[in-house]
Chain A
């Protein structure tokens, strides 16, 4: 099969080149349509329940993603609360409000919020906190004291020590945050106040990441190409030969990325790694071909014949390795995370494309080379005698050692597996977009500084919802019926008029609340014209309607607010929670100021009407709409804004668990349900889905590959044997991750499929070639010696190409790429080692069943060719 295809390709090289070129051109042409997507929300499908709810909560409470700008001054005792610094804050706040994409009315800064305070006995004062910048230190102090005194601002707008302030800049959409953050930086540069300004917040982190992703792709991918080229040149010493796989790798990368973009997929952090994944993987088959071709080529035999022999020999293992690698990646489609699915499927498809191009393009290319060049290449190769390079000697030595001490080797691996098992049990699942940046990145620095000073720059939203509206119409009907019955007994017939009134109110109203209000108005009007005898009943009905309306304002009930306040107090106890902002703080603060202004009056009013009237007082401020971020206008849902000082998913998870534990101990008021929103929560959800999804996809892929191994080797023993190095490698890698405490995050998660797809390749080549040698020699040790020659070299070269090919990721400015780079290199080392050391040892232990010596001992050397 391989011979025929290679032969066909060598007869029509122009056609092969043209087709490859065409494919590449089309792919490349689509790349400019690229759309970058760093929105972690997209880690979940658009219709995923938690994501839908997150967005519902945002809309319900007018919540927006926020950029946090912190202002710190370590030089002065009074921090930023001095005329100069506050003047700069005022200037900045005004200018930020003007930036396109900033939601002006929700901008939170000292310059945009209200102060509510006592102004002498019996007098309440509402005013802007900092309408104009303070002119004196005394005025600056007054602003500090006033801000510290308001619980909704303390630790949010002003640090608890009274030295730093922050601006919370709500933005229309996350994908503008990098631009807006840039404009804010430009404004800050023009301030000259001597203060330190820090910008952070999840949207900035995510968007900045997207920008740096481009840098990564623009630098790391070409760098990888360069490194791979240099390596291959090092192996083969022939630019002419090495150019072919490079061209082919480019064709694969460009076509795959073009197809991804052209099919309308966005480029996510995962898919941005596709080029750097495909580049080394695409050349591995070529390395096998060239390795053998260079070893076997003799001018007298001719390139065409040599290539046919090489291809006949390598076609099957290459086909299987490509399919298994493809399956390894494609299995990611079984995870519930769309960007990971896209990544897996396209890398898988790219690998298959690389295989197809390898078997047609490389032979076509080689056959077009002038015989003189091939001769020169061969002469160069001769000088280096492939059998006596350090690599060759090392491999023979290593293999020999494994064969001699098979028991030790196997026991060693067994112990390693046990240790790895313990390591795996220690794995902690965690991610934090801020940690995608290097520790000295300004976003990380800002994150650290601001979370030291303030309650937290990360937000989660806990929503409490009441079902009070559900049976409200029924309750009103019952009350009204009893009043109408009483009236009827008194010979006052109201029912008909009442039903008419209800029908007309219902017709004019979209909601039951509106219906009750219309009904209330109609009833008050009716009282003017009613008969004397009917008036008491109409009044009762009006009272019933008003009560029904008031009862719907669930989150104005003092006992409910009391529960919330206790719940919040319990949440703040958690080390992860810096602060909770909610309706209870607003109500208590306004009530305190309505009363004495003293801490003793920081209470929830005793009646629902008291709460309603307290809130009405608040609505006479400059920012009445702030209320609707804490409660819906129907007062049937409340929102607790949790400020977290860490963006770790683990910490968010801990908060969720704490909330659940509290609710288990202290049941929510009847009819109230609790749910979560916020980017930090979304991260927890997809992370959870990812862990479960990865385990499943890994299991599916493992079984599929095992089935393929059985089909390939037509032997249960050899099939399972082929699975050993890969299984061991995966266990070791994850064991190490658990032992060193590296959190299991998205890049780490996809490494399993990579390992699965690549390390089985080594085993396939090793076992296939061992069996071939054994068929030829009939003796175990000779077969081993043979396979530890050229095949082992090709395996090691491939491991090195891939490992080194990924090292440019270490130069990337973003941590996830570095992680992948480091672990890939380790995985390649582990799996190549497992193949070259563990497989011979296992074969040696099982030689009586697997490869018993059947032929007499001869002098046949490894140079012998079939």
Chain B
């Protein structure tokens, strides 16, 4: 669940060349390529995230965490470890996620002050990520098969995809529209609509850098248009293919975070 915002992450191997893609015409293929570009760059990755959560009245909260990711299978299952460092009162709080495509994720939470490990069974993945305007699903990626996708427009720069949920009862949106960059295949803007067509939620990638050859969204913003609140997340010190061992993503790491792997070089 947790990992880097879609932008946070990486670009699909296919894009490595960085060459302009041939025009794609199949909506599902575009969405799958975008999913890989956003969430599956390299075999693993690490990133230091800073989040600023701003509500409609301008009140701000901040969060800082390190994100470790390992792909079990490219485009498939993944493991995540999210370790919080700030605010200081939540330092050492850890989320561990085993993302399972086609099934609900396994999530664990470690709260150091209570010395408590708890498995979290969420009814859905569209709950807030630590009080921000991002949902868990925005961070770990929404299964591409959960929606029907159609390519409604292809411009010089982007594919515009409209997606509608296969099971409307599990989500709060009626549809969403994604603008996918034709070069990087990163989704640069996603707008969620209600049944009457009103856009109430918008995700934008506001900065992209190419890191280790992978175009990476390094700053992204989620806006709640109802309240005027938004969250900006910056990803710094992103690295890919660092060779994280699989046993880092275990329950042991919750109580004893793998310092060496969390520290940036």
Contact = CB atoms under 8 A, between A and B. Distances in A.
A517 B86 contact: yes
B227 interface: yes
A609 B55 CA distance: 23
A434 B237 CA distance: 61
B121 A521 contact: no
Contacts of A621: 127-128
Interface string A586-622: 0000010011000000000101111011101101111
Interface in A602-646: 605, 607-610, 612-614, 616-617, 619-622, 624-625, 627-628, 632-634
A556 B89 contact: yes
Contacts, number: 131
27 contacts: A62-B57, A105-B224, A120-B121, A124-B120, A124-B121, A126-B121, A131-B170, A514-B60, A514-B62, A520-B88, A521-B64, A546-B87, A549-B88, A553-B89, A556-B89, A591-B114, A594-B118, A605-B113, A605-B114, A612-B89, A613-B93, A613-B112, A617-B111, A620-B130, A620-B131, A628-B59, A633-B60
A539 interface: no
B101 interface: no
Nearest to B116: A594
Given A105-B227, A594-B114, A617-B111, A126 B87 contact: no
Given A127-B123, A616-B93, A550 B87 contact: yes
B13 interface: no
B128 A619 contact: yes
Nearest to B114: A610
A161 interface: no
Contacts of A625: 55, 227, 229
Contact of B88 (A114, A546, A627): A546
B126 interface: yes
Interface string A368-401: 0000000000000000000000000000000000
A624 B227 CA distance: 13
Interface in B230-245: none
A124 B169 CA distance: 22
A632 B57 CA distance: 11
B108 to A, nearest CB: 9
B25 interface: no
Closest 5 CB pairs of A and B: A127-B123, A619-B131, A546-B88, A609-B113, A612-B89
A124 to B, nearest CB: 5
Interface residues of B, number: 45
Contacts of B119: 122-124
A128 B118 CA distance: 19
Contacts of A550: 87-89
Interface residues of A, number: 52
B224 to A, nearest CB: 8
Nearest to A556: B89
A634 B61 CA distance: 8
Candidate in B85, B122, B170 with the most chain A CB atoms within 10 angstroms: B122
Nearest to B110: A613
Contacts of B60: 514, 633
A231 to B, nearest CB: 59
Interface string B158-195: 00000000000110000000000000000000000000
B130 A119 contact: no
B226 interface: yes
A521 B127 CA distance: 28
Candidate in A608, A612, A627 with the most chain B CB atoms within 10 angstroms: A612
Contacts of B121: 119-120, 123-126
Nearest to B195: A98
Contacts of A620: 120, 127-131, 136
B151 interface: no
A543 to B, nearest CB: 8
Given A609-B113, A613-B114, A104 B124 contact: no
Nearest to B93: A613
A137 interface: no
A441 to B, nearest CB: 34
Nearest to B63: A616
Contacts of A517: 62, 86-87
Nearest to A623: B128
A594 B111 contact: yes
A607 B169 contact: no
Contacts of A617: 109, 111
A607 B114 CA distance: 9
Contact of B89 (A521, A594, A609): A609
Contacts of A614: 111, 114
Contacts of B72: none
B105 to A, nearest CB: 13
Nearest to B62: A517
Nearest to B1: A620
A595 B87 CA distance: 23
Contacts of B224: 105
A524 B128 CA distance: 27
B113 A613 contact: yes
A123 B104 CA distance: 14
Contacts of A619: 128, 130-131
A242 B102 CA distance: 89
B113 A612 contact: yes
B202 to A, nearest CB: 16
A633 B61 contact: yes
A540 interface: no
A132 interface: yes
Contact of B169 (A62, A131, A624): A131
A59 interface: yes
Given A123-B121, A594-B111, A594-B118, A616 B86 contact: no
Interface string B38-63: 00000000000010000101011110
A62 B58 CA distance: 12
A521 B88 CA distance: 10
A125 B123 contact: yes
B123 A122 contact: no
A616 B112 CA distance: 12
Nearest to B194: A98
Contacts of B211: none
B113 A624 contact: no
A3 B91 CA distance: 93
Contacts of B59: 628, 632-634
B117 interface: yes
A128 B124 contact: yes
A556 B224 CA distance: 27
B248 interface: no
B199 interface: no
B90 interface: yes
B265 to A, nearest CB: 10
Nearest to B131: A619
A546 B86 CA distance: 9
A514 B229 CA distance: 18
Interface in B91-109: 91, 93, 109
A609 B89 CA distance: 5
A536 B254 CA distance: 26
